[in-house]
Amino acid sequence: MKSADARVPQYRPEDAARYRAAGFWGTRTIADELRRAAQATPDASAVVSVEGTLTYRQLDERADRIAAGLHGLGLRPGEPVLFQVNNRYEAILGWYAVLKAGLVPVCTLAQHRKYEIEQISKLTGAVAHLVEAKTPKFDLVEFALDHAREHLTLRHVLAIGDHDENDARARRIETLGADIAPAVARTLVDDIQAQIHAEDVAVFQLSGGTTGVPKLIPRFHAEYWYNAKAWAAALGWDASARVAHLIPIIHNAGIVCALHAAHSVGATVVLGTADMAASAPLLARERVTDILVGHGHYVAAPEVLPSLKGSLKRVILSGAKPSDALFDSVEALGVKVGQLFGMGEGLLTMSRWDAPELARRTTVGTPLSSLDEMKILDPNGLTELPDGTVGELTCKGPYTTPGYFDAQEHNKRAFTPDGFYRTGDLAKIVDIEGTRHLSIEGRIKDLINRGGEKINAEEVELLLGRHPDILEAAVIAMPDERLGERACAYLVSRHEPLSMEQVRQHLETQGLAKFKWPERLEWRKGLPRSNVNKVDKKAMREDIKRLLETEAASR
């Protein structure tokens, strides 16, 4: 999508000029970067999953042909394509094929349902929907077809995965373009890429978001690839790195810190799934050197990581503060241990390997780029706070988005007048041995972080409020040993309290993704309120903590 599109926010010209002058923003598209990698190490493995392996040459050539097939279907550069796929090598084939066709991947999750997909589809005007076929429990192909019937911009349902040859409901992407000669496909891809500017929109990432309506983050070719290259450099990767990724690859962290970063240095991505123990044999067989352990894997990690001893060199913990016990158990494996803090909007910070242990253990390190800028502000205000004081983290830099897509009014609140993104995270800067490190201290945004997946409280409250018997709803985070947090709803009923089953049925009818459904209901006569009559979520969070502690003590 052209950066000149009025819905696409712009970097400030003076900032863009600095990022270019520093050599951070290159002139190639992401598809061209893959081509270069494929030419440098054609026979190295680019991606491995339990379903199979692709070398760089195979990935590049097959993605060329699929891209030509997509073009043959009438899909044109700049048009958005919804992605709802899990971690398997064909998803990567789809990713690069879509980029090679000049199309723009929209990174939704396989778990999203009607409520999310409808809004995102409308916002982007998506023209195609790529789903994984034959997922257990839910038929994404049928879902996509239903959706396409109501959304006239959607012209094609495409599928990857265990798709029956004779299932004509969706185009199978793996065989698309198989009748096109590789050289013809390559020429077409080259022609398409020549029309794309490195500062055009490459990808839409989905924001964890703080409003009831999903927000899309445009990521541009040059800055997105730079982000990945900077990650690979900071970790010290070269072509020998074998990078395991268990959390959804389509998330920003998956694309930047695993897929693109590995491919920027000719390394291999090994795709596991959310089930860390079940993925362990693949990771061990593939002799992975690196793994990003998300919040949802903090409990399993001490059990599983020892099986990777021998090949494992670096472990990055991310999503929440690790306990000392977790940090110690990883360090005991004799590997490098650090932390990552980051967001789809851009900024990534990480522990440097040469930083003192205290810094790696207790902070999320320092920003990835020398041109990243961070300020800790008075929450919701503009006063900058001194180091050591907790405030709202704001940031700007060569891979932090200048704004959300088609959201001018929201952007005025989400960014400071001088262009810093207000993260909604509470943080402070701590000086450790002369270096300023970032420490995350909480958040002001109204989210539940369920094992890394963000649940937007306002969105769920809105949908709960659509039930005729629910008078008021407030959704908060309750602590959870395995996932860090789960959603709990405090509710006021017009009549009798509803059962969990009735609430779930209601949310299913509303089309809300299941991972966002509250996992505990607390019915009250009224919600606690502050002295200015605002719903008091702090009081509810304290209440649920007390209730959980009492329940645990009585067990």
The two tokens of residue 547 are: 């209730």
* 90/459 with CB nearer ligand AMP: 459
Among residues 257, 199, 271, which one has the least CA distance to residue 228?
Answer: 257
* 266/322 with CB nearer ligand AMP: 322
Instruction: Give min distance, CB of 465 to ligand AMP, in A.
Output: 25
Neighbour-count burial for 513-533, b at 16+ CB within 10 Å, e otherwise: bebbbbbbbbeeeebbeeeee
Contact 485, 516 (CB under 8 A): no
* 23/442 with CB nearer ligand AMP: 442
CA distance 70 to 101: 7
Instruction: Give min distance, CB of 330 to ligand AMP, in A.
Output: 15
Among residues 349, 342, 303, which one has the least CA distance to residue 319?
Answer: 342
Instruction: Give min distance, CB of 450 to ligand AMP, in A.
Output: 11
The two tokens of residue 338 are: 């650090």
Indicate the residue type of 368. Answer: L
Instruction: Give min distance, CB of 437 to ligand AMP, in A.
Output: 13
Cα pseudo-dihedral 365, 366, 369, 372, rounded to 10? 130
> Which H or E run contains 477?
strand 470-480
The two tokens of residue 182 are: 């590789």
* 80/342 with CB nearer ligand AMP: 342
* 62/295 with CB nearer ligand AMP: 295
Instruction: Give min distance, CB of 146 to ligand AMP, in A.
Output: 27
Instruction: Give min distance, CB of 119 to ligand AMP, in A.
Output: 17
Instruction: Give min distance, CB of 342 to ligand AMP, in A.
Output: 6
**Beta strand 45-49 pairing with 268-271:** parallel
Instruction: Give min distance, CB of 15 to ligand AMP, in A.
Output: 21
* 87/423 with CB nearer ligand AMP: 423
Q: 496: buried, middle or exposed (CB in 10 Å: 19+, 13-18, 0-12)?
A: exposed
**Beta strand 242-245 pairing with 470-480:** unpaired
* 144/343 with CB nearer ligand AMP: 343
* 289/339 with CB nearer ligand AMP: 339
Q: Which residues would be at the binding site for ligand AMP (CB under 6 A)?
A: 208, 252, 318-320, 339-344, 364, 423, 425, 440, 443, 449, 454
For CA atoms 453, 280, 52, 132, the dihedral sign is negative
